[in-house]
Amino acid sequence: MSNYHIKHFEEYFQIYRKSVRDPESFWSEVAEEHFLWQKRWDNVLEWDFKKPEVKWFSNAKLNITQNCIDRHLQTKAERTALIFEPNDPNEAAQHITFRKLHEEVGKFANVLKEQGIQKGDRVCIYLPMIPDLVYSTLACARIGAIHSVVFAGFSAKALATRINDSECKMVITSDGGYRGEKTIDLKGIVDTSLETCPSVEKVLVAKRINSEISMKEGRDLWLAPLIDKASPDCPIEVMDAEDPLFILYTSGSTGKPKGMVHTTAGYMVYTAYTFKNVFQYREGDIFWCTADIGWITGHSYIVYGPLLNGATTVLFEGIPSYPDFGRFWQVIEKHKVTQFYTAPTAIRTLAKENLSYLDNHDLSSLKILGSVGEPINEEAWHWYNDNVGKKKSPIVDTWWQTETGGIMISPIAFSTPTKPTYATLPLPGVQVALMDEKGEEIKGNQVDGRLCIKFPWPSMARTIWGDHERYRTTYFDTFENKYFTGDGALRDEVGYYRITGRVDDIIIVSGHNLGTAPIEDAINEHPAVAESAIVGYPHDIKGNALYGFIILKEVGESRIHDNLRKEINQLITEHVGPIAKLDKIQFTVGLPKTRSGKIMRRILRKIACKDLTNMGDTSTLLNPEVVQSIIDTAL
Ligand code: WT7
């Protein structure tokens, strides 16, 4: 029995038990068997959740790109590593072999070095889903620069906040990007951002849409001519196991986004391991994860996890609705995709469309379906299972987070019996606890509580960039000696887990993790707004939509015009991005507040959900009368 590849349910239990009984020998066996190391580790694990400090494979030396690329050159240089499927179905797809990937990453890495990037420097990558995004990410890793990929749907202000937080020295972008019928002016957004980003010395610009853009002398450089004259050979930088590999920003319930720091060895071992097992990757498989590389799902399961296993991974530039709602199915047919990994929001969107979009395509290549990003509702699960999987492809509902780096709770395809809406069982090495509000662990089955992890796993984020104290208070302060996920979960009669959703002020809209604070800050910038509070309410397609309760400075109907709603959403678009726009805006005279001045969102949530049966205890409110007036004017 190999620890690295679980093949049936019995084996899962044996391996899981071993991983809990002796995590160190478990992970060291996995690490030893399947990766290239420049130097072996001294200790497998050192940890203290109080500090908190976690080190895996300490003092080991390696480079993750050697593991993603170079080591496959002997056996599969001519195999396809990356299939690039463009936005426009009439533009030819590109099949990029491991040999070509090696060359492109090597050239890009040499360009970065020539432009002054050194080990430890932060490089912001703001690109559409094109091969340069993969090349630049891996090029950073090759020379030890820390990549910070920012999703290209974020606004100029959101981009600037992220660049400044980690003081990036360089931005890599393109002249623009395609998104369905639209183009996006990425370079223009970067230019606006950089007015407030003093740390950025150079901007590398890839050509994608051939638009007219302005190039700032001395700062901006076209990528192509630099790549053309760069050497494809770039020796690896030898990295320490705990050297940062990347920073990826995720929303916090308060304050600015959190730059989660992932380090090299643990992230490598865990993403490779989970990719192999959850998706049961076999040689020749074509894996397609529809996420954007700007999110952790793309980092771990478009780039690192698949390439570490020598797999073929699909990079899709487009959207599910262009040129029509058959696009996903057409891509699956065209590239004979074997594993398809997408989000419940996409499933719900497509389930609303006519089944002929699906039936027009041959999906017989599919073996395994995946879901990620938010709880999948029963209806969407069945639609996915019946129509896409034809009831023969297991659905792996994978629960995890930006912070966890890799999948934590999920079925193992073909081993774990699935159950609609359940993420099922923790993967090897993942020790789950459900906690009650008093901070006690809830034992036994058929219980629910707050989801915690009580033992380190290799790919956990090690800190928040520049703010270790925030890392401690956000994740390790609520429950002693445990990592708190921010989610609620229930455990059924056989021990399966179902994630019930966030228990903090984070709202997941179309799979995007949004903190209420930055959205409220954006709204409050409007000169007419005195105060605001955002909550989520159920939405058929997005999972949740945003409902804003807004107090205006001057009360009176005359102030409430439609433009005001538009202006508020415009501000949100500028500060956070269009994904954070409010679906409903209710102007109100007050917000329910506790005596300490905290907005009682629980009440607003009930009003937004039209659940007016029981408002709960409002006795601690400073202004209980305001509740009725909000109910009376609710939308
Ligand atoms: C939050 C993390 C990690 C992938 C993308 C999201 C929710 C994620 C599931 C799932 C129920 C899920 C949780 C989690 N979530 N996957 N399979 N079932 N909820 O990463 O942006 O860091 O969001 O997404 O609430 O805490 P993220």
HEC per residue, 151-184: CCCCCHHHHHHHHHHCCCCEEEEECCEEECCEEE
Query: Is residue 592 in some structural domain?
Result: yes
Task: Using alpha carbons, select from 60, 38, 22, 476 the residue that is nearest to residue 266.
Answer: 60
Q: Which of 438, 456, 489 is at the close of a domain?
A: 489
Q: Are strands 543-552 and 220-222 parallel, antiparallel or unpaired?
A: unpaired
b/e map of 436-467 (b: 16 or more CB within 10 Å)?
eeeeeeeeeeeebbbbbbebbbbbbbbbbbeb
Report the atom number in ligand 1 closest to the C-alpha of 297: 4
**Inside any domain, residue 381:** no
The ligand 1 atom nearest the CA atom of 398:
17
Closest C-alpha residue for ligand 1 atom 10: 399
Q: Is the CB of 410 under 6 A from ligand 1?
A: no
Q: Which of 489, 520, 553 is the last residue of a domain?
A: 489
pLDDT band with cut points at 50, 70 and 90 for residue 600: confident
How high is the pLDDT of residue 594? 76
Tell me if residue 15 falls in helix, strand or coil: helix
Task: Looking at the structure, tell me whether residues 81 and 171 fall in a common domain.
Answer: yes
Identify whether residues 566 and 624 lie together within a single domain: yes
Closest ligand 1 atom, CA of 403? 22
Of the candidates 5, 3, 1, 2, the residue with the CA atom closest to the CA atom of residue 280: 5
402 and 292 belong to one structural domain? yes
For residues 31 and 149, state if they share a domain.
Answer: yes
Q: Domain check: are 481 and 520 in the same one?
A: no
Q: What are phi and psi of 74, to 5 degrees?
A: -65, -45
Q: What is the 3-state secondary structure (H, E, C) of 328-363?
A: HHHHHHHHCCCEEEECHHHHHHHHCCCCHHHHCCCC
Say if ligand 1 is within 6 A of residue 67 CB. Answer: no
536: Cβ contacts below 8 Å, ≥ 6 apart: 507, 508, 509, 544, 545, 546, 547, 605, 608
| Model confidence pLDDT, tens digit, residues 472-521 | 999 999 999 999 999 999 999 999 999 988 888 889 999 898 988 889 98
What is the arithmetic mean of pLDDT over 150-178? Answer: 96
CA distance 632 to 624: 14
- Residue minimizing CA distance to atom 19 of ligand 1: 374
- Average pLDDT over the chain, rounded to an integer: 95
Residue 19 sits in a domain whose CATH number is 3.40.50.12780
Residue from 247, 508, 509, 512 whose mutation best tests the ligand 1 pocket (most atoms within 8 A of CB): 508
**Least confident piece of the model among 96-105, 304-313, 520-529:** 520-529
Contacts of 329 (CB under 8 A, 6+ apart): 357, 358, 360, 361, 363
Determine the pLDDT at residue 255.
Answer: 73
Report the alpha-carbon distance of residue 103 to residue 48 in Å, rounded. 41
CA distance 42 to 59: 6
- Same domain for 440 and 555? no
**Residue 453 corresponds to which tokens in the numbers above?**
């992890």
454 Cα to the center of ligand 1, angstroms: 19
Q: Tokens 């109910």 sit at which residue?
A: 631
β-strand pairing of 483-491 with 447-453: antiparallel
Whole-angstrom CA distances from 594 to 252, 534, 600, 608, 612 are 22, 17, 7, 19, 20
Per the structure block, which two tokens stand in for 135? 């090349």
For residues 268 and 70, give the distance between their C-alpha atoms in angstroms, rounded to a whole number.
15
Helices (H), 215-326: 223-229, 264-278, 296-298, 305-308
What single DSSP character describes residue 478? S
Q: How far apart are CA 231 and CA 251, in angstroms?
A: 39
**Claim to verify: residue 101 and residue 239 sit in the same structural domain:** yes
Q: Each residue of 175-226: pLDDT tens digit?
A: 999 999 999 999 999 999 999 999 999 999 999 999 999 999 999 999 999 9
pLDDT given at position 7: 93
Report yes or no on 267 lying in a domain: yes
Per the structure, the count of domains in the chain is: 2
H helix runs in 35-97, sequence order? 64-68, 73-76
- Based on the domain organization, do 450 and 311 belong to the same domain? yes
CA distances from 238 to 37, 56, 74, 119, 145 (A): 10, 17, 21, 10, 12
The yes-or-no verdict on residue 305 having pLDDT over 90 is yes
579 within ligand 1 shell (Cβ under 6 A)? no
Location of structure tokens 């109907």: 557
- The length of the chain in residues reads 635
Spacing, Cα 373 to ligand 1 middle (Å)? 4
Whether 223 maps to a domain, the answer reads yes
Question: Are residues 514 and 589 located together in one domain of the fold?
Answer: yes
User: 340-389: per-residue pLDDT in tens?
Assistant: 999 999 999 999 999 999 999 999 999 999 999 998 989 999 999 999 99
Cis before 323? omega within 30:
yes
Q: If you average pLDDT over residues 149-172, what whole number do you get? A: 96
Q: Which residues contact residue 86 at a Cβ distance below 8 angstroms, ignoring those fewer than 6 apart?
A: 92, 93, 178, 317, 318
Query: Per residue in 406-440, pLDDT tens?
Result: 999 999 999 999 999 999 999 999 999 999 989 99
> Which residue range forms the structural domain that includes residue 573?
510-632
Q: Tell me the pTM.
A: 0.92
Residue 83 lies in a domain: yes
Neighbour-count burial for 153-192, b at 16+ CB within 10 Å, e otherwise: bbbbbbbbbbbbbbebbbbbbbbbbbbeeebbebbbbbbb
Please check whether residue 166 lies inside any domain of the structure. Answer: yes
The answer to whether residue 498 sits within a structural domain is no
User: Is any ligand 1 atom within 6 A of the Cβ of residue 250?
Assistant: yes
Nearest to 460, CA basis, from 259, 299, 266: 266
Of the candidates 124, 123, 105, 47, the residue with the CA atom closest to the CA atom of residue 462: 47
Give the model confidence (pLDDT) of 326-341 as tens digits: 999 999 999 999 999 9
Q: Are 469 and 616 members of one domain?
A: no
Please give the structure tokens belonging to residue 450: 């707050």
The reply to whether 474 and 515 lie within a common domain is no
Q: Are residues 478 and 613 in the same domain?
A: no
With a pLDDT cut of 90, the percent of the chain lying above it is 85
- Read off the pLDDT of residues 523-570 as tens digits, 9 standing for 90 and up: 988 999 988 999 999 999 999 999 999 999 876 555 667 789 999 999
Euclidean distance between CA atoms 606 and 630, whole angstroms? 11
Task: State the distance from the centre of ligand 1 to the C-alpha of 628, rounded, in angstroms.
Answer: 34
In angstroms, what is the span from residue 438 Cα to ligand 1's centroid? 25
The CATH number assigned to the domain holding 561 equals: 3.30.300.30
